[in-house]
Amino acid sequence: MRKLMYIFLISFIAFTASSQNIIQRPKIVVGIVVDQMRWDYLYRYYNRYLEDGGFKRLLNQGFSCENTLIPYTPTITACGHTSIYTGSIPAIDGITGNEWWDYSLSQLVYCTGDDNTKTIGSNTDAGQMSPQNLLVTTIGDELKLATNFRSKVIGIALKDRAAILPAGHSANGAYWYDDKTGDWITSSYYMNDLPKWLKDLNAKKMVDQYFSQDWNTLYPLNTYVQSAPDEEPYEYSPFGSKSFPYNLKQFVGKNYGLLPVTPYGTSFTFEMAKAAINGEQLGADSITDILTISLSTPDYVGHSFGPNSVEAEDDFLRLDKDLGDFLKFLDKQIGKGDYLVFLSADHGVAHVPAFLKEHKIPAGSVGGEKITDEINKLLKDKFNISKLAIGIMNYQVYLNRVAINAAHLNKDTVYKYVIDYLLQQPGISRAFPLEALNGITLNNKIRTAMENGYYPPRSGDIQLILQPQWIEGFETKGTTHGVWNPYDAHIPLVWYGWNIHTGKTNREVYMTDIAATIAAMLHIQMPSGSVGHVIEEATNK
């Protein structure tokens, strides 16, 4: 008997010692990226967030990097989602905008467009997408490489680019919303048929159920003291009426493109995430999985109504509730402490210029299409050649290099005419050739942001820097983002769950540090284009 007990004791000690040497990882990493969330939204509505909601739980039980910045321009969706999961910058990863003029192809390119694929899940062309334009690996790619492709990686977002680019090249699936059908779809790049769990979700026609609820404020309208009056002339009216409550029943069975402009877009995204976790058995074993979730609705609401609107406030109050419910789902499905969550954003947003002017803050809008037309007229008068300017995208002027070379024009002379014109326009602070960036006198932070965003085959020829509070487009209503200023580049970053300290840091960190930190926590290689650093104070080790 003693011999048996001795053998058991030795075996137990050996097992305990060996288990301590096993690399510890969470069951699942869940990235939640809120599309168009300024850092200050964590606190602007803090007193109204639910005690058992998402934001207070993350802030009070997690670790917040209070001074997280985007280190490049343009600060827009495709670039942001790519940088978070690659730790890279447009100058390296090649994603220089949502779209760009590709000089090697001499055509306009959408960041995730791929004509060699077909839609899976509907009869539209909304699924002709892939990550083919992404030049580097993601943290999901690296996890799959590290586990010999036993890990599962899934990307989910209403926007195709926000599902595809975070998930990476080797993802098991990326799913996005088809606004023509109201269903979740994917691309033949990933699979030849939707999984049964997703077909079952689509069969519920949840969009019609959401529309049938209409959209009224979560609380009495007079309590929304953090917002401007409900009806403002500089807000769009996507639902017909100009103020709450919004009649959405009129869109049942049609106009599915309006769902993302309502808080129900966030609710639907979380329902999709839950279905994916259950259907794919994510986090169900000892092999770590990754789920990337992008909440696209705040971007649609913010562009349409502005960040100081009742609509934006109500959207975030409802997002907080949905986020809290999702964390409770993870507690039950995966196990509290067994999952790692981070919440961040792809960019912030500027206030609506008309709103700022009401309060005597200088602001304005620069019309990109109008300026392009005037540049082309100017160059036609000078050189007798039409359409030498392709357009303004990503705060850069794209010139027709082929036409300039064919006409044997002096490139610097063309640049000078364009720049002289641009510098006379209201709201434009600087204009200079991107290839001469290092010879321009600029604040170092701004120069670095421009350098980090510059990938010559996909970037423009002349960089624009707008005056603070000025935006491009949205001349009379709505607002946008894309520049280096803090309102666009200061984003939240909160860590929660497995191996995370409770606390915060005001140390300046960057969007590019997220992937490096996850890689260190998982003991895997950083993505191939990563330039980030590990945020060591966030972890327990």
Q: Are 365 and 471 in contact (CB under 8 A)?
A: yes
302 CB-contact burial (10 Å; exposed 0-12 / middle 13-18 / buried 19+): buried
Rounded Cα gap, residues 103 and 211, in angstroms: 43
Rounded Cα gap, residues 496 and 516, in angstroms: 16
Q: Helices marked H in 384-508 — which ranges?
A: 401-406, 411-422, 444-452, 486-489
**The two three-digit tokens of residue 362, written as one number:** 């200088």
**The two three-digit tokens of residue 10, written as one number:** 């030795």
Active-site entry in 68, 73, 75, 77: 77
Among residues 299, 308, 298, 304, the alpha carbon closest in space to that of 226 is found at: 308
Which letter, b or e, does each residue of 202-241 get, where b requires 16 or more Cβ atoms within 10 Å of its Cβ?
Answer: beeebbbebbeeebebbeeeeebeebbebebebbbebbee
**The two three-digit tokens of residue 292, written as one number:** 């990337």
Q: Are 90 and 452 in contact (CB under 8 A)?
A: yes
Rounded Cα gap, residues 292 and 275, in angstroms: 14
75 is catalytic: no
Q: Are 321 and 290 in contact (CB under 8 A)?
A: no
Which helix H or strand E contains 277, and what residues bound it?
Answer: helix 264-280
Could you tell me whether strands 99-102 and 173-178 are parallel, antiparallel, or unpaired per DSSP bridges?
Answer: unpaired
Helix, strand, coil fractions of the chain, as percent rounded to 5: 40, 20, 40
**Quick one: how far is CA 83 from the chain centroid?**
9
* Nearby residues of 120 by Cβ (< 8 Å), 6 or more positions away: 127, 185, 186, 187, 188, 190, 191, 192, 193, 194
**The two three-digit tokens of residue 258, written as one number:** 């309006």
User: How far are the Cα atoms of 100, 405, 415 from residue 463, in angstroms, in the given order?
Assistant: 14, 20, 11
* Catalytic site positions: 77
